[in-house]
Amino acid sequence: MIQADDLVKWYGPTLAVDHVSFEVAQGQIVGFLGPNGAGKSTTIRMLTGYLPATAGTARIGGFDVARNSRQARALIGYLPESTPLYPEMRVDEYLDYRGRLLGMPRQDRIARRDEVVDRCGLTAMRRRTIDRLSKGNRQRVGLAQALLHNPPVLILDEPTAGLDPAQIGAFRTLFRELADNHTILLSSHILPEIEKTADRVVMIAGGQKAAEGTLDEIRRQSASGGGVIVQAKSDANALAGILRELPGVASANARDLEDGWAEATLIALDDTDLRELIARRLSETGALVRELRVEAPSLEAFFIEMTANQRVSNPTAA
């Protein structure tokens, strides 16, 4: 239903999206996950037809968003990262205005407005002006406008950014309800948000697709290099440096703890248990070790790893 086919976007000298392809099948809710600056908004804006791609094709329901923009857009409900709301308008008034912009006939407009107000939990505040709404409720208004023309596809760019945990929980429930009769692409830079909502995940970092699949599949991919946690009496940089030199180590990152201790997280290239090697090497350097354990691979560790790699490979995407 949503198809990104080899999408590329250059902003002047910056390559923001680098040959990204993925699909969202009808009825699925797919999380589009990546750190800040990964290229999520740029990809989404190409998919929704708001930004021309430098190369590649975006299709919605089979319609090329560049060539058949009207048909493609009619299928999409889009909630941009910051929705242009009019603070002085009342909720009802704003939705009515959006309906007019979409060319909806009056009766249809009113019926749909009432439906989306109810669906998005805005009934109690429909006569309030937008500037008097909390951030969570403003996002509900943004979502309501995206649903107004009853599109089968929803593309939501960081819809829960800046909301409190209770509001995030309410949105999560709403997304699951909407997934019953919508195809949804939902972007976020926060893994737990996606983890609890999406059927599948597309991960992007430094403009490139880093992983794709169900959460279990991605967990298995990340499991190929198991993690080891090391706590040693050392400076964090020195510890990471020593560990990175060891054979079989894909990466090592460390942080300082209290009283001269540091903790490193090391990712192995394969399934080899590196603990003995680590213990020997650290004892050679004279660094005292107080903890050395294999950590069950988590999606979070994979995501952190991916984020760190982005910084190295794409310094422009800070």
Using CB under 6 A, list all residues that contact ligand ATP: 11, 14, 16, 34, 36-42, 189, 316-317
Residue-wise DSSP of 149-196: T--SEEEESSTTTT--HHHHHHHHHHHHHHTTS-EEEEEES-HHHHHT
Q: Smaller CB distance to ligand ATP: residue 39 or 227?
A: 39
Shortest distance, CB of residue 157 to ligand ATP, whole angstroms?
A: 7
Residue the block writes with tokens 């350097």:
285
> Secondary structure of 127-161 in the HEC alphabet?
CCEHHHCCHHHHHHHHHHHHHCCCCCEEEECCCCC
Q: Which residues of 258-289 are buried (b: 16+ CB within 10 A; e: fewer)?
A: eeebbbbbbbbeeeeebeebbeeebeeeebee
Q: Smaller CB distance to ligand ATP: residue 182 or 189?
A: 189
Classified as helix, coil or strand, 21 is: strand
Shortest distance, CB of residue 173 to ligand ATP, whole angstroms?
A: 24
Q: Smaller CB distance to ligand ATP: residue 12 or 103?
A: 12
Q: Smaller CB distance to ligand ATP: residue 18 or 235?
A: 18
Q: Smaller CB distance to ligand ATP: residue 32 or 302?
A: 32
Q: Smaller CB distance to ligand ATP: residue 10 or 97?
A: 10
Residues in Cβ contact with 21 at an 8 Å cutoff, skipping those fewer than 6 apart: 4, 5, 6, 7, 56, 209
Classified as helix, coil or strand, 80 is: coil
Shortest distance, CB of residue 169 to ligand ATP, whole angstroms?
A: 21
User: Can you say whether the dihedral through the CA atoms of 112, 118, 124, 125 is positive or negative?
Assistant: negative
Shortest distance, CB of residue 37 to ligand ATP, whole angstroms?
A: 4
Residues in Cβ contact with 296 at an 8 Å cutoff, skipping those fewer than 6 apart: none
**Single-letter amino acid, residue 290:** R
Shortest distance, CB of residue 195 to ligand ATP, whole angstroms?
A: 18
Shortest distance, CB of residue 36 to ligand ATP, whole angstroms?
A: 4
Shortest distance, CB of residue 284 to ligand ATP, whole angstroms?
A: 42
55 has which bridge partners?
Answer: 8
Shortest distance, CB of residue 213 to ligand ATP, whole angstroms?
A: 20
Q: Smaller CB distance to ligand ATP: residue 20 or 232?
A: 20
Q: Smaller CB distance to ligand ATP: residue 185 or 278?
A: 185
Contact criterion met (CB below 8 Å) for 125 and 138: no
